[in-house]
Structure 1
């Protein structure tokens, strides 16, 4: 009887079973480990859509400290990239203020969107590094609004505890390469001059301004703060402030990272401390911008 050829095959030549194919959903499993659907607000924050959050808004309206809420919420943008919080905040503020971008967005429409805010830095750089307070002020100025820059005294976080600090970094307003003719102006106030009481005053002025009676009196505050102080995940962030409940000393933040957190109320003093933590790029405290509608013919 002839011997089967397979009997004389060398071990290296013997056929071996191919490895089993990876499960079809392996890539999906890997992605699921790295993805998130929203975040739960910490106890330091009150969700606007909760019963308590709604009551805070109603009381703020009764106080006259929520005039900015409807104009801002009607134009609230979701930042297009994880590092585009400054752009999303400016898009919201500029559209709410009724600013004309002097360029088209889609078709015949002149409207602000994140990708149009390229005056001061390329979007690829912002996507990687984000923006500082002064960078954001320069970008707002290039798009026709007047900007006031306010910064509080710095705090330094040591082992989870914030203490007073001398910030040695420098945060300089960069000169834009080719500012357009309709640019606004920037006013930088004395460094570290924003006290908690002054913050409350600026806040009330902005959220209570008569938006409908006098368009040129409109103001929007965009805050730059550390999420860590609020008990949230992440760190540096920008978002507009839309209302103030004086009775409870709570501020309404319209978070432009809407994929992460919904609009929420926080203590004014806690937000103030969150603005005092230094920016990792500049070494300076964060702070706020007061954006004002500017009319060239006024």
Structure 2
């Protein structure tokens, strides 16, 4: 559960209804200690929603949110290495292994994009970091509002609805660009 404690200390809610992707990415960037290369307020250098404007204008994001590809673009242009795993290209067992692997790493975070209806929530698409799981568990800690534990199979698996994920880690040389 290495991811849990880093993410818990950076918990934030989205500042706009369609900013779930931006709020999730801010949590991840701050949890991984990425320097935004600019000041947030006063002398502090910290990520917050309005700073994530390199891939799409924030006014557009405010209206319709972001896609998984745009989430990946924002992650990369803000100092992360990001690998997208689309729901139609991975199996449920691959997804479970990815959650278990990233949950034990200090330098990686797995984020998911899923349909809120699969969890009985209102709304449509949503982003959330996976904060952790026990090695033999069938539940994980997902930072939705409020933070919650959810069943892995039956809520985020391809057998019950759309789900894609993105693995992130801090880039070794933040000045370098990568895809």
Report what 1:244 is aligned to: 133
Q: What is the distance in 2 between the residues matched to 1:236 and 1:84?
A: 11
Report what 2:110 is aligned to: 221
Contact residue 100 and residue 134 of structure 2 kept, 8 A: no
Report what 1:70 is aligned to: 5
Q: What is the distance in 1 between the residues matched to 2:167 and 2:120?
A: 25
Q: What is the distance in 2 between the residues matched to 1:117 and 1:275?
A: 32
Report what 1:108 is aligned to: 43
| Gap regions ≥5 residues in structure 1 | 1-65, 154-191, 212-217, 256-260, 278-285
Distance 1:265 1:273, change over 3 A: farther
Cα displacement string for residues 223-257 of structure 1 (whole angstroms, at most 9, x for unaligned residues): 000010111111100011001134341111011xx
- SS of 1:95's partner is helix
- SS of 2:133's partner is strand
**Structure with a larger share of its residues in strand:** 2
Cα displacement string for residues 169-220 of structure 1 (whole angstroms, at most 9, x for unaligned residues): xxxxxxxxxxxxxxxxxxxxxxx2x1111111111111111x2xxxxxx001
Structure 1 residue 264, shift from structure 2 partner? 0.9
Report what 1:197 is aligned to: 93
Q: What is the distance in 2 between the residues matched to 1:92 and 1:231?
A: 24
Cα displacement string for residues 139-166 of structure 1 (whole angstroms, at most 9, x for unaligned residues): 110001000100122xxxxxxxxxxxxx
- SS of 1:68's partner is helix
Structure 1 residue 273, shift from structure 2 partner? 3.4
| Gap regions ≥5 residues in structure 2 | 175-179
Alignment partner of 2:122 out of 233, 253, 265: 233
Distance 1:100 1:274, change over 3 A: farther
Q: What is the distance in 2 between the residues matched to 1:88 and 1:223?
A: 13
TM-score when scaled to structure 2? 0.92
Q: CA RMSD in A?
A: 1.6
Contact residue 226 and residue 274 of structure 1 kept, 8 A: no
Distance 1:110 1:271, change over 3 A: same
1:206 paired with 2:102, answer yes
How many residues align structurally?
A: 173
